Amino acid sequence: MGDGTVKVVETVLSDHVTAGAEPAAGGGGEESGVEELLAAVRAGEAGRVPGLLEPLDAAARGRALVRLKALRAEVRAGKWAAPPYVPSRIRSALYVAGAGCVPTPAEAASWLGAPDLRAEKKDGALALAALGDRDPEWAADLAGRLAGRRSVAEDGYPLLHGLMVRAGRPVPPTDGYVAGWARHLTGDRLVERLREDPRTPVLVEHALGMAEAPSR
């Protein structure tokens, strides 16, 4: 076989292999998306997290979650202790990113209720945005789990209330939820707001029966 023929055969075989090749698992776009998400979390940029989560599918979020857990362990161990404000910012970003990556309501409740990830007020709205693709049943399940943990429900009332609205159903009144609700009763139109809110009678009734009355 002449050299010319050999080159033709090699070219045909090469084209055939290239055409039939399987794409690499986890597209380059998604992998770069995971890297960008992790970079934002390490930088403590919680506000960017919901947008970075949007293009990631379940598999990519699963891969990200493994690395988020590793980063969380590093923060707990004090690896990111300086400057002093860094751990707090990373914890906020972890709180939001983990919420968007865990696959089940039970895991989400565990993540969002963890003492080492206790959120700041602004983080609740960001976590709600990160959970934007969850269906109403999923949101209702998570809301019910968070409502049953007093300190979590009280401190995370905006997130819990947002989940309730998204699910289209009331959260069962619990001490934590009612305490959080009472703390958020502010504004010049307080009386009007209470009258307009269909949940007021149920929540007030529960508040009156609490061993320790909720404070504002």
- Structural domain boundaries in the chain: 31-133, 135-216
**DSSP H stretches of helix in the chain:** 3-20, 28-42, 49-53, 58-76, 86-101, 105-112, 121-130, 136-147, 150-155, 157-167, 175-183, 190-196, 200-208
Q: How far apart are CA 200 and CA 213, in angstroms?
A: 16
What dihedral angle (degrees, nearest 10) is formed by the CA atoms of 205, 207, 212, 213? -120
End-to-end CA distance of the chain: 91
Q: Which of 123, 200, 115 is nearest to 156 (CA)?
A: 123
Question: What does the pLDDT read at residue 44?
Answer: 95
Q: Which of 207, 154, 201, 203 is nearest to 177 (CA)?
A: 154
Q: What is the pLDDT along the chain (216 residues), one digit of tens a residue?
A: 444 443 433 343 334 323 333 333 445 567 899 999 999 999 999 999 999 999 999 999 999 999 999 999 999 998 887 788 889 999 999 999 999 999 999 999 999 999 999 777 789 999 999 999 999 999 999 999 998 888 888 888 889 889 988 998 877 788 777 777 777 776 666 677 677 777 777 777 766 766 665 665
Q: Which of 141, 149, 88 is nearest to 119 (CA)?
A: 88
